[in-house]
Amino acid sequence: MDEPVTPAGRLFLRPEMNQIINCAIGFENPIDIEAIKTELSTSLLVQHPRFCSLLVKNKKGREFWRKTQINLDDHIIIHNQENDEDKINSLLADFAVSSPLSLDKPLWEVHIVTGVNCVILRIHHALGDGISLMTLFLASCKKLHGNEDYRGDDEKKKSGSKKGIFEILKLIWYTVVFVIGFIGRVLWVSDKKTVISGGDGVELWPRLLAVAKFELEDMKIVKKAIANATINDVLFGVISSGISRYLGVRSPHVLQEELQITGLAMVNLRKQPGLQEMEKLMNNKSGTGWGNRFGMMLLPVYCHTRNEDPLCYVKRAKVMIDQKKQSLESHFSYGIGNLVMSLFGPKVASLLNYRIVCNTTFTISNIVGPSEELTYAGNPITFVRATSSGLAHAITMHMVSYAGKANMQILVAKDIIPDPHFLAKCFEDALLEMKNAAKSGPCG
């Protein structure tokens, strides 16, 4: 029996969006193609209803999922590349703008890049979000030191303590303020144009890709230097400092006075954050829910060239993110998106979503991966990275942590930002400077 596509799934299928998640997984040893095929044939990935269903439309143009028989050979594509990391980035950059998935088969592919010991999973965003898809893949992995299946790190549940009247008033106030700001962004408010601004049509421009590589231990050192800070606070502080560095070199005149640009952050809305147990994600009644369960938040970045303690970037980021956490902005964005889809259809919803992308400067997301090393088909995994199809932003950043390291894929429109490797270095240098400052003492 056909199953209707969810509202979020219909949004990602619109031509203006057509979002595909491209996840690169590096391996220590040369890839055994037959072993990969054997592992896939018995994995949860090919058993999941979304991964063995065709996208079909009825006479009214409404999208549905229809079960079909999977032929693995239709989904596995072999690439032979030189042993060069830039080849992976080049392939992912090409996927971001010029390689749609065929509607003649379920909307996913496995690209095996033999020369660089890498597998690239291409999965349409209509099938699920980053948390869902990452968990589905990792459920098929095993820990490197031990044979037990990997089912996701245990996460502490959110506190169930009751809010006092002051906390409730703050929630109402911040929600009203940020929701008004969100609506303003959809309708008319836009960032000032800079050398890193995108805009209407930029999603179709050719892309370049670079990787900013971080040590999680460095981030933790910075986090400990500021009371109650989180890794996300550190990450956004690094983004603020790194973009300031980049603009200070490429366009110093715009930083003569403090410049504000705005990022669009993806926020997981499941009750239990982080990677979920596979059994819960497979069961929609659990409250965690498979699919696309995320909202959006607007995160302002204040760029400047003043010499100051690097930790102050994190301190400012924490104040701003704490206020966002005390609001329902991300829940509002998710709820209003579903409401617009129900009342006006995917065309209007995608137009509003497109406008908010055009009126901001960059996209940022962060997925917490496993802390232990894993294997797939008996081959140790060395890295996990993710990016997506090009947006109307000139910069899209996705960070994934794995086994003590964090890789942030920086996807850029190459005619706007021709030097993404320099931008990646700006972010890496920003974290190292923060780490050194944290060892000397926090900012005042």
**Backbone dihedral angles phi then psi of residue 93, each to the nearest 5 degrees:** -65, -40
- Fold topology of 3-143: Chloramphenicol Acetyltransferase (3.30.559)
The pTM for the full model equals 0.90
How many other C-beta atoms lie within 10 A of the C-beta of residue 231? 18
Cα separation, 17 vs 81, whole angstroms: 30
Residue whose structure tokens are 């960070």: 399
Residue 217 exposed, middle or buried by CB count within 10 Å (0-12, 13-18, 19+): exposed
The mean pLDDT of the chain is 86
Give the SS3 label for residue 376.
strand
Question: Closest Cα to residue 314, out of 262, 232, 237?
Answer: 237
Give the SS3 label for residue 54.
strand
Residue whose structure tokens are 């329902």: 328
* 243 has pLDDT over 50: yes
Token pair in block for residue 322: 């704490």
> Facing residues of 21 across strands?
123, 388
Write the pLDDT tens digit of every residue in 289-314: 677 888 899 999 888 766 678 899 99
User: Of residues 151 and 197, which shows the higher confidence score?
Assistant: 197
What integer pLDDT is reported at residue 268 of this predicted model? 84
* 194 has pLDDT over 70: yes
* 370 has pLDDT over 70: yes
> Facing residues of 294 across strands?
268
User: Of residues 306 and 407, which shows the higher confidence score?
Assistant: 407
What integer pLDDT is reported at residue 345 of this predicted model? 85
* Contact yes or no for 185/394 (Cβ under 8 A): no
Strand 108-113 vs strand 3-4: parallel, antiparallel, or unpaired?
Answer: unpaired
What integer pLDDT is reported at residue 174 of this predicted model? 93
DSSP 8-state class, residue 359:
T
What integer pLDDT is reported at residue 305 of this predicted model? 64
* 236 has pLDDT over 50: yes
What integer pLDDT is reported at residue 291 of this predicted model? 74
* 378 has pLDDT over 70: yes
What integer pLDDT is reported at residue 228 of this predicted model? 92
Write the pLDDT tens digit of every residue in 315-354: 999 999 999 999 999 999 999 988 998 888 888 999 999 9
Percent of the chain with pLDDT over 70: 89
Question: Closest Cα to residue 366, out of 127, 131, 197?
Answer: 131
* Contact yes or no for 15/385 (Cβ under 8 A): no
Which residues of the chain are in CATH 3.30.559.10 domains? 3-143
- Fold topology of 165-368+389-440: Chloramphenicol Acetyltransferase (3.30.559)
What integer pLDDT is reported at residue 11 of this predicted model? 87
What integer pLDDT is reported at residue 281 of this predicted model? 56
Which residues of the chain are in CATH 3.30.559.30 domains? 165-368+389-440
* 158 has pLDDT over 60: no
Cα separation, 327 vs 336, whole angstroms: 15
What integer pLDDT is reported at residue 205 of this predicted model? 94
